[in-house]
Amino acid sequence: MNFISGQLTRNIETAGHAGFCYGVKRAVETTKKIKKENPDKEVFVLGELIHNSSVIKELEELGIKTVETLPSSAPKGAICIIRSHGEGIDTIEKIKNSGYEVVDLTCLDVKKVQDTAVNLAGEGYFLLILGKAEHPEVMAIKSNAKKYSKDINSPLVIKSLEDLISKSDLIKNKNKIGVVIQTTQRIDFLKSVVDYLIDKTKELKIINTICNSTALRQNEAKELAKRSDLMIVAGSKKSANTTHLYEILKEITPTLHIESDIELDNYKNLIQTSKNIGITAGASTPDYIIKQIEDKLKTI
């Protein structure tokens, strides 16, 4: 869209692949539907369904409880929803045994990573999981694969190439190494690990488990950044895929990572001097937040 701001004709372009991905949309819509169909039952989500505070607040207003720890004994008819990031098999079994009806809304792409990790561990590979150890998706992948690993140090979570190098003693003399990657990580991270490992083991099995939505979002945003004076990335600071978008784009053009349109007030001078502004958003960012940012830019 083009509009006049003072003497500057400004072009604002929003990426086509911005906002909710399929897995997030499915999780949010299904959770709301479950509560609507079960108004008299308590509905819990173990951990944040997605990394977006406005969505969590909306769910709470509908009576859907986000908790870090479930009541040890389930209220009568209580439903527990497994978030899009997934959970370990043992955790899910424990929830069922506590009397909860479990609805598993793990993203299908995340499920594939879990299954791949389990298969590699079962086949005797020393497993590396590329991602953030504290991220719920990675924690669930590790928990599931650990049950099948034959090595006390496997799976090993690696957050960066430097982290891998610092832990090189743990992979020394491993004849079979398998690698999976968190669905929202950067492809250049995976490439750097492959380059490092290629001559460190006799058998190296790499499975690129970055989801298609992440790859499309990142590639499209990079092209948009190349023709923009300023990029705006909308989404939670806790969202891995949103943070990675910001990291990628700031290497191409000046980039802001914001959670809401209100934060734009802090960057008025930068916005006023930018002719071409691009907008993208993480997979857990609702459309209405993107629209609010577009509208706010017109007023600055």
Q: How much is the pLDDT for 1?
A: 60
State pTM to two decimals.
Answer: 0.87
Looking at 137, 220, 263, 294, which residue is catalytic?
A: 137
Q: Is the pLDDT of residue 133 over 90?
A: yes
162 noted as active-site residue: no
Q: Per residue in 209-250, pLDDT tens?
A: 999 999 999 999 999 999 999 999 999 998 989 999 999 999
Question: How far is residue 68's CA from residue 46's CA, in Å, rounded to a whole number?
Answer: 6
Q: Which two tokens stand for residue 234?
A: 């909308």
**Residue 291 contacts residue 25 (beta carbons within 8 Å):** no
Residue 108 in this model has a pLDDT that exceeds 90:
yes
Q: How much of the chain is in helix, strand and coil states, percent to nearest 5?
A: 45, 20, 35
> Quick check: 280 and 14 in contact, CB under 8 A?
yes
- How far is it, in rounded angstroms, from Cα 236 to Cα 243? 8
Q: In what order do the strands lie in the sheet with 43-46?
A: 64-67, 43-46, 79-82, 101-104
Average pLDDT of 117-128? 98
For residue 100, report the phi and psi dihedrals to the nearest 5 degrees.
-85, 145
Closest CA to 235 of 196, 187, 184, 177: 184
**Amino acid symbol at 243:** T
Q: In this predicted structure, what is the pLDDT of residue 10?
A: 85
Over residues 157-177, mean pLDDT:
96
pLDDT tens digit string along 161-170?
999 999 999 9
The confidence score (pLDDT) of residue 9 equals 75
Phi and psi at residue 115, in whole multiples of 5°?
Answer: -65, -40
Per-residue model confidence as pLDDT tens digits over 247-288: 999 999 999 999 999 999 999 999 999 999 999 999 999 999
Q: What percent of the chain has pLDDT over 70?
A: 97
Q: Residue 3: its pLDDT value, please?
A: 54
Is-cis flag, bond preceding 254, omega within 30? no
What pLDDT does residue 248 have?
95
Tell whether the model's pLDDT for residue 4 goes beyond 70.
no
Mean pLDDT of the chain: 94
Quick one: which H or E segment has residue 215?
helix 212-226
- Mean pLDDT of the region 191-203: 96
Tell me: pLDDT of 7 over 60: no
Task: Give the integer Cα–Cα distance in Å for 235 and 19.
Answer: 9
Q: What is the DSSP string of 127-194?
A: EEEES-TTSHHHHHHHHHHHTT-SSTT-SEEE-SHHHHHHTHHHHTT-SEEEEEE-TTS-HHHHHHHH
**pLDDT at residue 78 in the model:** 97
Residue 83 has pLDDT above 70, yes or no: yes
pLDDT (0 to 100) of residue 209: 97
